[in-house]
Amino acid sequence: MALKSTICKAELQVSDLDRHYYQAHNLTLARHPSETDERMMVRLLAFALYANDALSFGKGLSAEDEPDLVELDPTGSIARWIDVGLPDERNVRRASHRSREMVLITYGGRIADMWWQQNESKLAGLGNLTVINLTVEESAVLTSLAGKSMRLQCTIQDGLVWLADGTGNHEFSPRVLKTSIRV
Protein backbone atom coordinates (compact mmCIF):
# COMPACT_ATOMS: atom_id res chain seq x y z
CA MET A 1 0.00 0.00 0.00
CA ALA A 2 1.40 3.38 -1.01
CA LEU A 3 1.86 6.04 1.62
CA LYS A 4 -0.15 9.21 1.16
CA SER A 5 1.07 12.77 1.30
CA THR A 6 0.63 14.72 4.51
CA ILE A 7 -1.46 17.83 3.99
CA CYS A 8 -0.29 20.99 5.74
CA LYS A 9 -2.09 24.33 5.71
CA ALA A 10 -0.34 27.68 5.94
CA GLU A 11 -1.75 31.16 6.33
CA LEU A 12 1.10 33.25 4.97
CA GLN A 13 1.11 37.04 5.10
CA VAL A 14 3.78 38.42 2.74
CA SER A 15 5.06 41.99 3.00
CA ASP A 16 7.79 42.36 0.38
CA LEU A 17 9.01 45.93 0.66
CA ASP A 18 11.53 45.41 -2.16
CA ARG A 19 8.82 44.51 -4.69
CA HIS A 20 5.95 46.47 -3.06
CA TYR A 21 3.97 43.24 -2.76
CA TYR A 22 1.59 42.86 0.20
CA GLN A 23 -0.75 39.89 0.18
CA ALA A 24 -2.20 37.14 2.35
CA HIS A 25 -2.08 33.59 0.99
CA ASN A 26 -3.94 30.53 2.24
CA LEU A 27 -1.72 27.68 1.08
CA THR A 28 -2.05 23.93 1.02
CA LEU A 29 1.22 22.03 0.97
CA ALA A 30 1.23 18.34 0.17
CA ARG A 31 4.28 16.84 1.88
CA HIS A 32 5.38 13.73 0.00
CA PRO A 33 6.08 10.75 2.32
CA SER A 34 9.80 10.99 1.49
CA GLU A 35 9.95 14.78 1.98
CA THR A 36 11.33 16.21 5.21
CA ASP A 37 9.83 19.09 7.16
CA GLU A 38 12.98 21.03 6.25
CA ARG A 39 12.42 20.66 2.51
CA MET A 40 8.72 21.49 2.81
CA MET A 41 9.53 24.68 4.73
CA VAL A 42 12.19 25.70 2.21
CA ARG A 43 9.46 25.37 -0.44
CA LEU A 44 7.24 27.61 1.69
CA LEU A 45 10.04 30.18 2.03
CA ALA A 46 10.56 30.03 -1.75
CA PHE A 47 6.88 30.84 -2.17
CA ALA A 48 7.24 33.84 0.15
CA LEU A 49 10.32 35.12 -1.70
CA TYR A 50 8.61 35.03 -5.10
CA ALA A 51 4.94 35.32 -4.10
CA ASN A 52 2.45 36.55 -6.67
CA ASP A 53 -0.97 35.54 -7.92
CA ALA A 54 0.44 33.34 -10.70
CA LEU A 55 2.80 31.32 -8.45
CA SER A 56 1.72 27.85 -7.34
CA PHE A 57 3.21 24.69 -5.92
CA GLY A 58 4.15 22.08 -8.50
CA LYS A 59 4.02 18.33 -8.16
CA GLY A 60 7.52 18.37 -6.66
CA LEU A 61 8.89 15.02 -5.49
CA SER A 62 5.88 13.08 -6.75
CA ALA A 63 6.69 13.94 -10.38
CA GLU A 64 10.13 13.91 -11.95
CA ASP A 65 10.94 16.78 -14.28
CA GLU A 66 8.40 19.07 -12.60
CA PRO A 67 9.18 22.22 -10.59
CA ASP A 68 8.63 22.58 -6.85
CA LEU A 69 6.94 25.91 -7.61
CA VAL A 70 5.90 27.30 -10.95
CA GLU A 71 4.76 30.68 -12.22
CA LEU A 72 2.90 30.64 -15.50
CA ASP A 73 2.43 33.69 -17.70
CA PRO A 74 -0.98 34.49 -19.27
CA THR A 75 -0.16 32.31 -22.30
CA GLY A 76 0.55 29.27 -20.11
CA SER A 77 4.31 29.39 -20.66
CA ILE A 78 6.62 28.93 -17.68
CA ALA A 79 7.74 32.35 -16.54
CA ARG A 80 9.55 31.10 -13.42
CA TRP A 81 10.60 27.58 -12.44
CA ILE A 82 11.63 27.20 -8.79
CA ASP A 83 13.33 24.14 -7.32
CA VAL A 84 14.75 23.51 -3.87
CA GLY A 85 17.56 21.16 -2.88
CA LEU A 86 20.58 19.90 -4.77
CA PRO A 87 19.39 18.68 -8.17
CA ASP A 88 21.51 17.16 -10.87
CA GLU A 89 23.16 19.85 -12.99
CA ARG A 90 21.46 18.45 -16.12
CA ASN A 91 18.04 18.94 -14.51
CA VAL A 92 18.88 22.57 -13.68
CA ARG A 93 20.00 23.12 -17.27
CA ARG A 94 16.82 21.50 -18.64
CA ALA A 95 14.58 23.60 -16.35
CA SER A 96 16.48 26.72 -17.35
CA HIS A 97 15.76 26.02 -21.02
CA ARG A 98 12.06 25.37 -20.33
CA SER A 99 11.44 28.66 -18.48
CA ARG A 100 12.21 32.36 -18.74
CA GLU A 101 13.73 32.29 -15.25
CA MET A 102 14.96 29.38 -13.16
CA VAL A 103 15.47 29.77 -9.41
CA LEU A 104 17.22 27.21 -7.25
CA ILE A 105 17.27 27.41 -3.47
CA THR A 106 19.93 25.18 -1.92
CA TYR A 107 20.29 24.16 1.70
CA GLY A 108 22.22 21.56 3.64
CA GLY A 109 25.34 23.35 4.84
CA ARG A 110 28.61 21.80 3.78
CA ILE A 111 26.93 19.42 1.32
CA ALA A 112 25.27 22.38 -0.44
CA ASP A 113 28.61 24.22 -0.50
CA MET A 114 30.29 21.19 -2.11
CA TRP A 115 27.42 20.89 -4.63
CA TRP A 116 27.91 24.54 -5.61
CA GLN A 117 31.70 24.13 -5.96
CA GLN A 118 31.13 21.17 -8.29
CA ASN A 119 28.44 22.87 -10.39
CA GLU A 120 29.18 26.60 -10.38
CA SER A 121 31.28 26.60 -13.56
CA LYS A 122 28.85 24.24 -15.34
CA LEU A 123 25.91 26.57 -14.57
CA ALA A 124 27.71 29.89 -15.10
CA GLY A 125 26.50 30.20 -18.69
CA LEU A 126 22.81 30.02 -17.77
CA GLY A 127 21.83 33.69 -17.87
CA ASN A 128 18.33 33.06 -16.51
CA LEU A 129 19.45 31.12 -13.42
CA THR A 130 19.39 32.45 -9.86
CA VAL A 131 20.89 30.32 -7.08
CA ILE A 132 20.19 31.12 -3.43
CA ASN A 133 21.69 29.30 -0.45
CA LEU A 134 20.34 28.93 3.09
CA THR A 135 22.60 28.18 6.04
CA VAL A 136 22.14 25.13 8.25
CA GLU A 137 20.91 27.41 11.02
CA GLU A 138 18.32 29.05 8.75
CA SER A 139 16.90 25.74 7.53
CA ALA A 140 16.83 24.47 11.15
CA VAL A 141 14.71 27.48 12.13
CA LEU A 142 12.42 26.81 9.19
CA THR A 143 12.08 23.18 10.30
CA SER A 144 11.12 24.28 13.80
CA LEU A 145 8.21 26.28 12.34
CA ALA A 146 6.73 23.30 10.48
CA GLY A 147 3.31 22.04 11.44
CA LYS A 148 0.06 20.79 9.98
CA SER A 149 -1.44 24.24 10.51
CA MET A 150 0.78 27.33 10.35
CA ARG A 151 0.20 31.07 10.62
CA LEU A 152 3.25 32.96 9.40
CA GLN A 153 4.11 36.55 8.59
CA CYS A 154 6.98 37.16 6.20
CA THR A 155 8.64 40.54 5.72
CA ILE A 156 11.28 41.03 3.03
CA GLN A 157 13.49 44.11 2.74
CA ASP A 158 16.94 44.70 1.27
CA GLY A 159 17.59 40.98 0.84
CA LEU A 160 16.74 40.18 4.46
CA VAL A 161 13.78 38.01 5.41
CA TRP A 162 11.92 38.03 8.71
CA LEU A 163 9.56 35.14 9.35
CA ALA A 164 7.30 35.37 12.37
CA ASP A 165 4.93 32.92 13.97
CA GLY A 166 3.18 33.01 17.34
CA THR A 167 6.43 32.25 19.17
CA GLY A 168 8.86 34.77 17.72
CA ASN A 169 10.46 36.57 14.82
CA HIS A 170 13.30 34.88 12.92
CA GLU A 171 15.75 36.67 10.63
CA PHE A 172 17.23 35.11 7.50
CA SER A 173 19.80 36.45 5.06
CA PRO A 174 19.67 34.10 2.10
CA ARG A 175 22.98 34.23 0.25
CA VAL A 176 22.66 34.80 -3.50
CA LEU A 177 25.29 32.64 -5.20
CA LYS A 178 24.27 33.51 -8.76
CA THR A 179 21.89 36.15 -10.10
CA SER A 180 20.01 35.79 -13.34
CA ILE A 181 20.46 38.41 -16.01
CA ARG A 182 16.94 39.78 -16.34
CA VAL A 183 15.69 39.93 -19.90
Could you count the other beta carbons within 10 Å of the beta carbon of residue 34? 9
Q: For residue 77, is it within any domain?
A: yes
pLDDT score of 33: 85
Task: Indicate whether 98 belongs to any domain.
Answer: yes
Give me the number of domains the chain comprises.
1
Query: Using CA of residue 120, residue 68, residue 52, residue 107, what is the dihedral sign?
Result: negative
Residue at 16: amino acid letter: D
What pTM does this model have? 0.94
Q: Which residues contact residue 93 at a Cβ distance below 8 angstroms, ignoring those fewer than 6 apart? A: 122, 123, 126
CATH number of the domain bearing residue 36:
3.10.640.10
CB 129 within 8 A of CB 81: no
Give me the pLDDT at residue 32, please: 84
Give mean pLDDT in consecutive 10-residue pieces for the chain, a chain of 183 residues.
Answer: 80 97 95 90 98 88 77 95 96 96 97 97 96 97 95 97 94 96 64
The confidence score (pLDDT) of residue 61 equals 52
183 within a domain of the structure (yes/no): no
What pLDDT does residue 173 have? Answer: 96
Q: Is residue 32 part of a domain?
A: yes
